[in-house]
Amino acid sequence: PHPRTQTGGWTTVTVMPGVGAGPELADLMIEVMECAGAPLYYEIVRPEKSEKEFEHMLQSLKRNGVAIKGNIESKSLTELFMEPSKNMRIKRTMDLFIDVIECKSFPGLEKLMRVHKHLDIVVMRQNIEGEYTLMEHEVIRNMFENVQITTYYNTKRVCEYAFNYARDKQRSKVTLLHNQDVNPLTEDLMKKAFDDVAYKYPLIKSEKFSVNHGLKMLVKDAKSWDIVVTNSVLGSIIASIIFGMIGGPALAAEANIGEKYKVFESAFRNRNISLAGKDVVNPTGTILSGVLALEVLGYNKQASIIRLALEEIFMEGKALTRDLGGKATSKEFVRILVQKIRNLACYVHCKYDAVPQIPPRPPKPPPYDPNLYM
């Protein structure tokens, strides 16, 4: 579904900067998008401040259809013991049933990649079921119960999205990674739903492996995976492993997809409270979350310009942030990125353009004298 709020050919998206370093990263992301010529308006909401603001955010997302977010949970893990986080409440309220994580290595960062020099894998996991059902409670003192719910309906939706994504993006293979030895019933249900969907896509290769065997395959061959479908917890673990292979989670973004709404965020979801205001956080993941939003909205030209500029900056290796072995600050990284974007999108005007020099006004002519030519 397309966003619902458009004005004069421009699209409005909801932006949730989040806590910690989130606001400064959101500002840098918007700066990059504007310099690439993205025709977007940004509706800034701060759902972490109060329940009233959280409700305003939900109304904004329902109105606009697309959102870009940071980590909006201001509470610590201890404080979240009795209630789900706001990040999870968004997913369940808006029925964002699948999490799509694009894990692609950048050329120029091979020194950070100790297993494979090139990876291009998409991890898709359940977003509102399994461990994310959030039905954990204390039965009696010091005894806890964690109820996991897996349904055929939602599992089939995840598999259908994976195969449709493979068809649209011209991907060749979809692999299901399961843990049937530990959870025989729920994992068997996932395998059944996967087979029912795979039968409808004969041109796309489908595979099923245990997660242990699948990881061994990945270590041996970088091309053993293309699109991976798995449950909620395994998906998080697998994505974290791949992040370690490509150079870190700050180099990737993910999409929370539902039937009507889409929310994009950096794969690096640490709150970064201790780093707020220090200008040291790598903004690549946040920028890529904006790129994913552009691609969903159909602004592929602007999205490709930003992707090309990122590849150039990593190939040069002169403006890397600290997590990548460089010394550049977040703003220095973005400033050089914007220079490359301006070279690729020379038709776009942004705040970095030089102010045109207006010539001085010519002097006034002398007053008319009727006797001058007599």
Name the average pLDDT for the chain: 86
- In sequence order, which residues have a C-beta less than 8 Å from that of residue 171 and are 6 or more positions away? 122, 165, 204, 226, 227
Place of tokens 């959030």: 134
Backbone angles phi, psi at 235, to 5 degrees: -60, -40
Higher-pLDDT residue of 98 and 365 is 98
Percent of residues, the chain, with pLDDT higher than 70:
90
Q: Within its chain, how far is the Cα of 114 from the centroid? A: 24
What is the tens place of the pLDDT at every residue in 107-162? 888 888 777 888 899 999 999 888 776 777 788 888 888 788 889 999 999 999 99
Q: How many CB atoms lie within 10 A of CB 83?
A: 11
| C-alpha span between 232 and 229 (Å, rounded) | 10
Question: Could you give all domains of the chain from N- to C-terminal order, each with its CATH number?
Answer: 1-73+85-96+256-349 (3.40.718.10), 114-246 (3.40.718.10)
Look at residues 267, 220, 284 and name the one whose alpha carbon lies nearest to residue 100.
267
Question: How much is the pLDDT for 112?
Answer: 80
Question: How much is the pLDDT for 74?
Answer: 64
Higher-pLDDT residue of 96 and 9 is 96
- In sequence order, which residues have a C-beta less than 8 Å from that of residue 340 and are 6 or more positions away? 308, 309, 312, 313
Least confident of 15-29, 287-301, 359-373: 359-373
Question: How much is the pLDDT for 279?
Answer: 84
Question: How much is the pLDDT for 83?
Answer: 67
Higher-pLDDT residue of 44 and 3 is 44
> Region 198-202: what's the mean pLDDT?
94
**SS3 letters for the chain?**
CCCCCEECCEEEEEEECCCCCHHHHHHHHHHHHHHCCCCEEEEECCCCCCHHHHHHHHHHHHHHCEEEECCCCCCCCCHHHHCCCHHHHHHHHCCCCEEEEEEECCCCCHHHCCCCCCCEEEEEEECCCEEEEEEEEEEECCEEEEEEECCHHHHHHHHHHHHHHHHHCCCCEEEEEECCCCCHHHHHHHHHHHHHHHCCCCCCEEEEEEHHHHHHHHHHCCCCCCEEEECHHHHHHHHHHHHHHHCCHHHCEEEEECCCCEEEEECCCCCCHHHCCCCCCCCHHHHHHHHHHHHHHCCHHHHHHHHHHHHHHHHHCCCCEHHHCCCECHHHHHHHHHHHHHHHCCCCCCCCCCCCCCCCCCCCCCCCCCCCCC
Look at residues 258, 67, 242 and name the one whose alpha carbon lies nearest to residue 158.
258
Question: How much is the pLDDT for 323?
Answer: 85
Residue type, 76: S
> Region 221-245: what's the mean pLDDT?
90
What is the tens place of the pLDDT at every residue in 71-110? 887 665 555 455 677 888 899 899 999 999 999 999 888 8
Q: pTM, whole model, 2 decimals?
A: 0.87
- Compute, in degrees rounded to 10, the torsion defined by CA atoms 112, 115, 116, 120: -80
Question: How much is the pLDDT for 122?
Answer: 95
Tell me: pLDDT of 181 over 90.
no
